[in-house]
């Protein structure tokens, strides 16, 4: 018995169980197993540490299974899946098959007809007979299932742009106070990044300077799979930071975030500086908390929001309690933007993210951001900018918070309002 056969015999049953668990069709599973062992045999000479044979052959199996699912879904023209990079430092990714994950999200009816047609190779007439429905209904269901799959699939299809393109100039808007009581809202977005951290979610948002309303940066985000950090499960998010000026370089980030029934929070962030990948997790204390942490013990922002009375607002005058993590609903407003009027509540964040910075976030009843506005305390980083903000932006809106002046600096919009 040669060396490869010796190691293969030791874990053959493990690999077989793994493949058959992933691929229900026996004939297809047998074909994939043949491909795995052939690839393993041909590449065995490159394996330096033979003690890692089990992990190595499972890695080959995982790639072959993904190839299988991708080939079975060529009706979507799925481009080659990107490799996960969050495997270094403290990151530990769970096994993830994007096709299988997407199928699990779909309704039983959609999943059934996709499995029958694409994975079991059943002609439409046979599906019609098995389900006791007309062939025309099979075609209709199949088209609907394809569309639903594409909607939830977390990767790009061939020829598909990543994100909605936001306008270079921000449309004008009006914010009108309403007399009605503010409604409670379920807010599942990541604080400051507007994306809901669930499988299949994508978002574009942009920063617009005021008063020019010109676009400065825009960000393209998408959830690309599940991830686990220090035993806590969440999702991995890619974020591309770009300039409206196309000549400027693009910055890539990766996050791991977690959404529960009560809170939404960042678990980790990574980016590259001078060719070195920097990775931070919630255990990194002062390296993580100032930029990505929020709440006591980094519990995150609350999902279920209602007015607490911690922040009270009358027009542009705000009074607030002296306590950490000041984030509260302060009123109900009509926001008119891009030709649409939205019924919103205003969520104010007073210096929780950064000292001397205040934000207004207008959420609709779906818990999605319609408009986000940032204000700087009059002396915020005045040594850097040379003047107080009351002089730098003399015509911009102002808020008075506990007697101190804050000046409107910039706004954020997401593609959510442009897809209505």
DSSP track, 58-82: HHHHHHHHHHHHHHHTGGGTBPPPP
What is the pLDDT at residue 420? Answer: 60
**On the CB side of 130, how many CA atoms lie within 13 Å of its CA?**
12
- In the chain, CATH 1.10.1740.10 sits at 3-72
What is the pLDDT at residue 287? Answer: 79
Better-predicted residue by pLDDT, 241 or 84: 241
Q: 3-state DSSP call for residue 14?
A: helix
Mean pLDDT of 22-33: 82
Q: Residue 101: how many CB atoms within 10 A of its CB?
A: 16
Q: Which of 27-36, 82-91, 102-111, 275-284 shows the lowest mean pLDDT across its residues?
A: 82-91
Q: Which of 22-26, 277-281, 301-305 shows the lowest mean pLDDT across its residues?
A: 22-26
Better-predicted residue by pLDDT, 68 or 203: 203
pLDDT(71) > 70: no
What is the pLDDT at residue 19? Answer: 85
Question: Binning pLDDT at 50, 70 and 90, where does residue 41 land?
Answer: confident
Mean pLDDT of 251-274: 89
Q: Which of 174-183, 195-204, 264-273, 280-289 shows the lowest mean pLDDT across its residues?
A: 280-289
Question: In which region does residue 23 sit, left (phi positive, over 0), alpha (psi from -120 to 50) or beta (all else)?
Answer: beta
pLDDT(163) > 90: no
- In the chain, CATH 1.10.10.10 sits at 98-152
What is the pLDDT at residue 77? Answer: 41
CATH number among 2.30.29, 3.40.50, 1.10.10, 2.40.360, domain 173-418: 2.40.360
What is the pLDDT at residue 401? Answer: 95
Distance CA 290, CA 286 (A): 6
What is the pLDDT at residue 27? Answer: 82
The pTM score is: 0.63
Q: 3-state DSSP call for residue 190?
A: coil
Strands 357-363 and 304-305: unpaired
Q: For the chain, what is the mean pLDDT? A: 84
Nearest to 188 by CA among 364, 353, 382: 364
pLDDT(328) > 70: yes
Distance CA 232, CA 209 (A): 37
pLDDT(6) > 60: yes
The CATH class for the domain spanning 3-72 reads mainly alpha
What is the pLDDT at residue 85? Answer: 31
Before 211, cis peptide (omega within 30)?
yes
Q: 3-state DSSP call for residue 279?
A: strand
Q: 3-state DSSP call for residue 131?
A: helix
Give tens-digit pLDDT for 80-126: 333 333 222 222 233 345 566 677 778 888 888 888 887 666 888 88
- In the chain, CATH 2.40.360 sits at 173-418
Distance CA 359, CA 298 (A): 20
Mean pLDDT of 332-345: 94
User: Looking at domain 98-152, does it have CATH number 1.20.210.10?
Assistant: no
What is the pLDDT at residue 65? Answer: 83
What is the pLDDT at residue 248? Answer: 64
What is the pLDDT at residue 321? Answer: 85
Distance CA 111, CA 323 (A): 50
* 169: DSSP letter: B
Mean pLDDT of 14-29: 80
């Amino acid at each position: 018995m040669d060396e490869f056969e010796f190691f293969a015999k030791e874990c053959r049953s493990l690999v077989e169980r793994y493949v058959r668990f992933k691929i229900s069709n026996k004939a297809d599973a047998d074909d994939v197993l043949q491909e795995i062992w052939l690839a393993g045999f041909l590449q065995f000479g490159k394996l330096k540490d033979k003690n890692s044979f089990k992990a190595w052959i499972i890695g080959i199996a995982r790639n072959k299974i993904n190839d299988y699912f991708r080939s079975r879904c060529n009706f979507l023209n799925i481009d080659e899946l990107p490799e996960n990079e969050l495997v270094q430092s403290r990151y530990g990714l769970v096994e993830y098959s994007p096709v299988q994950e997407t199928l699990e999200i779909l309704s039983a009816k959609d999943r059934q007809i996709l499995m029958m047609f694409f994975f079991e190779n059943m002609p439409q007439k046979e599906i019609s007979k098995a389900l006791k429905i007309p062939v025309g209904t099979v075609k209709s269901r199949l088209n609907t299932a394809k569309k639903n799959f594409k909607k939830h699939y977390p990767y790009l299809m061939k020829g598909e742009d990543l994100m909605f393109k936001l306008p270079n100039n921000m449309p004008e808007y009006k914010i009108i106070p309403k007399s009605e009581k503010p409604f409670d809202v379920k807010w599942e977005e990541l604080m400051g990044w507007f994306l809901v951290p669930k499988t299949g979610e994508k978002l574009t948002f942009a920063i617009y300077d005021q008063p020019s309303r010109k676009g400065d940066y825009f960000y393209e985000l998408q959830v690309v799979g599940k991830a686990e950090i220090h035993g806590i499960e969440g999702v991995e998010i890619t974020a591309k930071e770009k300039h409206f000026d196309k000549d400027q370089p693009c910055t890539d980030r990766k996050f791991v975030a977690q959404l529960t029934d009560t809170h939404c929070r960042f678990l980790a962030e990574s980016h590259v500086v001078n060719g070195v990948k920097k990775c931070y997790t919630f255990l990194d204390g002062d390296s993580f908390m100032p930029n990505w942490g929020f709440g006591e013990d980094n519990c995150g922002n609350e999902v279920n929001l209602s007015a607490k009375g911690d922040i009270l607002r009358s027009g542009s005058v705000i009074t607030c309690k002296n306590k950490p993590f000041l984030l509260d609903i302060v009123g109900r407003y009509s926001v008119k933007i891009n030709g649409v009027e939205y019924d919103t509540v205003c969520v104010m964040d007073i210096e929780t993210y950064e000292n001397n910075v205040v934000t207004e976030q207008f959420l609709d009843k779906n818990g999605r951001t319609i408009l986000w506005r940032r204000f700087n305390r009059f002396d915020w980083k005045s040594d850097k900018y040379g003047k107080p903000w009351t002089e730098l932006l003399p015509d911009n809106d102002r808020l008075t918070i506990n007697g101190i002046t804050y000046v409107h600096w910039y706004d954020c919009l997401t593609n959510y309002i442009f897809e209505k």
